[in-house]
Amino acid sequence: MAYGANVASDRQRTIAIARGRLSLERMTNHVIRPDAVADHDAIRSVNRLAFGGDAEPRLVDALRDGGFVRLSLVAEQVSRIIGHLLFSELPIITKDGTLQALALAPMAVSPEFQNQGIGSALLRRGLDECRQKGHRIVVVVGHPRFYQRFGFSPALASALQSPFSGEAFMAAELVRGALEGVGGRVEYPPPFGLGVQAGTDRIAR
Ligand SMILES: CC(C)(COP(=O)(O)OP(=O)(O)OC[C@H]1O[C@@H](n2cnc3c(N)ncnc32)[C@H](O)[C@@H]1OP(=O)(O)O)[C@@H](O)C(=O)NCCC(=O)NCCS
């Protein structure tokens, strides 16, 4: 019974790979795919292990429950979830109206699998999928050395007002020129727990 189920899921996976829905990555034999309801516990666990606390698992749950998630991908190895990343909606309020962007957060790889290319593979795939879905701008707060190799930069985020600042606050264009002339305030959804950002004195610069 269990063996039959494994064969079936292997066959489904092979078909999905052939159809381009999944990608086998080069360095390890993991698969990257959209998350499923059955993955939610494992996603909590990966985030808890990677970040060493419950804040990120709670953030993932709250973003999902609030309907803010635009893409959630997992890295799976031998039926075990070892990495996760999530993009949620992030409006930019400009003087000409609201521009839809994405926040990349959180992103996590289980400690024992870090530095094996899994985070990079997740991020490449995530950015590609977001671009294919028509998204144009992604904002992240994170390690500059890691994210800059994927096109994120503090310079691209310099005209965006946010509760974050400094070199960790970065943006990337999924379409060349998407941030040209764009200035405004990014409005993190409530699950980020940043409060109302309209009052400028609450915004760290
Ligand atoms: C950051 C993270 C997602 C990267 O995933 P990963 O699978 O380890 O990344 P990769 O193996 O693809 O890439 C590793 C590279 O990222 C760099 N990197 C990893 N963590 C880093 C950090 N905290 N600061 C700067 N660079 C970092 C490594 O030095 C390595 O660089 P190299 O290729 O020059 O050797 C993972 O380390 C993680 O889950 N960390 C804990 C949670 C976290 O900090 N999440 C991101 C929040 S911004």
Q: Is 118 in the pocket of ligand 1 (CB under 6 A)?
A: yes
Give the global pTM. 0.85
Measure 129 CA to ligand 1 centroid, in angstroms: 21
pLDDT in tens, 35-68: 999 999 999 999 999 999 999 999 999 999 999 9
> What is the rounded CA–CA span in Å between residue 104 and residue 56?
12
How many CA atoms lie less than 13 Å away from 14 in the CB half-sphere? 6
Measure 31 CA to ligand 1 centroid, in angstroms: 18
- pLDDT at 13 (0 to 100): 52
Q: Is 119 in the pocket of ligand 1 (CB under 6 A)?
A: yes
> Of 167, 161, 165, which is closest to residue 197 (Cα–Cα)?
161
Give bridge partners of residue 36 from the DSSP assignment: none
- pLDDT at 29 (0 to 100): 85
pLDDT in tens, 177-202: 999 999 999 999 999 997 544 333 33
Q: Is 120 in the pocket of ligand 1 (CB under 6 A)?
A: yes
Q: Which domains does the chain have, with CATH numbers?
A: 28-202 (3.40.630.30)
Q: Are 132 and 93 in contact (CB under 8 A)?
A: no
> What is the rounded CA–CA span in Å between residue 93 and residue 157?
14
Residues contacting residue 178 through CB under 8 Å, at least 6 positions apart: 136, 137
Using the predicted structure, report yes or no on whether residue 111 has a pLDDT greater than 50: yes
Kindly give the number of the ligand 1 atom that is closest to the alpha carbon of 121: 12
Q: Is 107 in the pocket of ligand 1 (CB under 6 A)?
A: yes
Which of 6-10, 40-44, 148-152, 199-203 bottoms out in mean pLDDT, i.e. has the lowest?
199-203
- pLDDT at 12 (0 to 100): 53
